[in-house]
Amino acid sequence: MNAITFDRTKARFPIAEVVTSFIDGEGVPADNRGERLPAVCPATEDTISFLREADKDEVDLAVKAARRAFDQGPWPRMSTDERKRIMAQIKQVLTENLDEIAYLETLNAGITHTHTRGFHGPRMAWNFEFFAEVASQAAGQAYQQTKPYLSVVTREPIGVGALIGPWNAPIALCTMKIASCIAFGNTCVLKPSEFTPLSLRRVVELIHKTDIPKGVVNLVNGRGHVTGDALVSHPGVDVVSFTGGTTTGRAIASRAGQGLKPVALELGGKSANIITATANLDRALDGALLGIYSNNGQQCLAGSRILVDRKIANEFIEKFVARSRNITVGDPLDPKTQVGPLAYEAHMKRVLGFVDIAKQEGDELLVGGKRHDGFKKGYFVEPTAVMAKNNDTRICQEEIFGPFAAFLTYDDIDEAIAIANQSEFGLVGYVWSDHLPTAMKVSQQVRAGTIWVNTPLTRELRAPFGGYKASGIGRDSAEDCMMFFTEAKTTTIPLQEFPMAKWGV
Ligand code: NAD
């Protein structure tokens, strides 16, 4: 049996003993105010740090700092090129410290180091370059059709953004929020997940090693119902950008609605991965495994319902099961590891609870289905696949958010599309087929924000990403983020004198 150990004295990088907020350019002291919550390493179950929760008063300080930086500070008033220069510095400082940030992320979130160092980390740094470039290329509009007027439309920063993120890809997702918010001249307060505070605290500290004015990027740490709710409800917040679960999204949208604050919601998914008989089945198999098991199975865009054409189902599923058994589960810091631990204990229990639910509902367990017994400690779950009785079962209708695939079979592509659409979610869809009309039919008829044809998980930052139905409201992309984080202003000027009524003459 494997014992993965954590020894603070041998840590590759220093780990803060207490993680606090970062407000107005300064780290908040680790005093005795507020709750202290453990930050746990899911591979060893050790408490590696404590999070000092920001209460309502501390959230108020953070929003006021962001407000001041927006209402009076230089950031919204400086030229776009100057902001771009500072965002390039941010990219550089994050890139220089990628090893440390990726290490902290892996330690606290359990995402493999291969993934945090090779994918989430570079994406984090690139977010700043990308959105600075978007802002610097943005143009307004001009209308001249109504003579003799010229109407010009300019876009102005919307104000203070409340940015709330999940634990499954903290650095990649939260920095996209920060970068897309500040690039257009806004200021922000970020609230990461209370389960994974370590990496983002360091990221925000590093952002302040650049010329960024104080108060532009603030951070508060704490639980959703305490710190998050205080942030969303704060009257000084102008706009709310949220990524997380659908139930939380509903609560946040109604809270933000009371203040008439625009919200962008990137929520859960239960996406169909349609494997047709016309696919390159070797590639479809590779893609299906990556689609459900990468990022330890904790991804909104997972292909978690795998729909296989009945003609090829036995062979495909047999191979999938054999490959699942062979996946290397283990220490997320080990470069050989493919699947690491789930992020925290209650989440692991919830994921394993779906094995019991599946058994009760008459689904057939194909592989996995239990806590991995190769480790003394850690929230390791075996890569799991279940043949679902039908699409009405809970394992097909609820987001499990773990290494847990639900298989279904179908007889023709219309049936596959109907099954794909019989879901409250609509985040993404996958289809594997070398027959173009079939792939296009799926692309056109599956009601989801993104369809991947013959590829798993390819994120194009320029193109809209977001969900239909209960998977969200709004989209992330260059243009969508600009629209969301700016207000449009129309200015109308007559180009020549025109007759005007002379009242009261
Ligand atoms: P969650 O909804 O539990 O929490 C997300 C964030 O919201 C956390 O920071 C949490 O503290 C905060 N929060 C909770 N209640 C709040 C409240 N009342 N007011 C303000 N903030 C509150 O989600 P999670 O478990 O951290 O993340 C997993 C979920 O995120 C999954 O459903 C997944 O599909 C979704 N997700 C979606 C996308 C996407 O792009 N669509 C990307 C990643 C994750």
Residue 91 has a pLDDT of 98
- Return the number of other C-beta atoms located less than 10 Å from residue 146's C-beta: 9
Confidence of residue 322 (pLDDT cuts 50, 70, 90): very high
The mean pLDDT value for 53-69 works out to 98
Looking at residue 276, its amino acid is T
Q: Look up the pTM and report it.
A: 0.97
The preferred substitution site among 56, 63, 168 for testing ligand 1, maximizing ligand atoms within 8 Å of CB, is 168
DSSP secondary structure code for residue 333 in this structure:
T
Query: Exposed, middle or buried: residue 104 (CB in 10 Å: 0-12, 13-18, 19+)?
Result: buried
Residue 8 has a pLDDT of 86
- Residue nearest to ligand 1 atom 10, measured at CA: 224
Tokens of 494: 């007559």
Q: Above 90 in pLDDT, residue 95? A: yes
What number does the ligand 1 atom closest to the CA of 194 have? 11
Q: Which residues line ligand 1 (CB under 6 A)?
A: 164-168, 173, 191, 193-194, 223-225, 228-229, 232, 243-245, 248, 251-252, 266-269, 300, 399, 401, 427, 467, 472
Q: Above 80 in pLDDT, residue 253? A: yes
- Residue nearest to ligand 1 atom 22, measured at CA: 224
> Do 223 and 146 touch, CB atoms closer than 8 A?
no
Catalytic-residue membership of 345:
no
Distance 355 CA to ligand 1 centre (A): 23
Instruction: Report the distance separating Cα 39 and Cα 50, nearest Å.
Output: 5
What number does the ligand 1 atom closest to the CA of 231 have? 20
| DSSP element (H, E) containing 154 | strand 149-157
The mean pLDDT value for 103-109 works out to 98
- Would you say the C-alpha torsion 355, 358, 359, 360 has a positive or negative sign? positive
For residue range 467-499, list pLDDT tens digits in order.
999 999 999 999 999 999 999 999 999 999 999
Distance 105 CA to ligand 1 centre (A): 17
Residue 383 has a pLDDT of 98
Catalytic-role residue among 53, 58, 105, 266: 266
Confidence of residue 176 (pLDDT cuts 50, 70, 90): very high
- Residue nearest to ligand 1 atom 3, measured at CA: 245
Residue 113 has a pLDDT of 98
Distance 3 CA to ligand 1 centre (A): 31
- Would you say the C-alpha torsion 322, 383, 338, 297 has a positive or negative sign? positive
Residue 334 has a pLDDT of 97
Say how many CA atoms lie within 13 Å of 250 toward its Cβ: 6
- Strand duo 272-275 + 305-309: pairing: parallel
Catalytic-role residue among 41, 174, 188, 300: 300
For residue range 346-364, list pLDDT tens digits in order.
999 999 999 999 999 999 9
> Do 160 and 71 touch, CB atoms closer than 8 A?
no
Query: Exposed, middle or buried: residue 45 (CB in 10 Å: 0-12, 13-18, 19+)?
Result: middle
Catalytic-residue membership of 396:
no
Distance 227 CA to ligand 1 centre (A): 13
The mean pLDDT value for 52-58 works out to 97
Residue 2 has a pLDDT of 76
Confidence of residue 31 (pLDDT cuts 50, 70, 90): confident
Q: Above 80 in pLDDT, residue 1? A: no
Confidence of residue 302 (pLDDT cuts 50, 70, 90): very high
Mean of per-residue pLDDT scores for the chain: 97
Q: Above 90 in pLDDT, residue 398? A: yes
The string of DSSP codes covering 277-319 is TTS-HHHHHHHHHHHHHGGGG--TT---EEEEEHHHHHHHHHH
Residue 33 has a pLDDT of 83
> Do 352 and 389 touch, CB atoms closer than 8 A?
no
Residue 384 has a pLDDT of 98
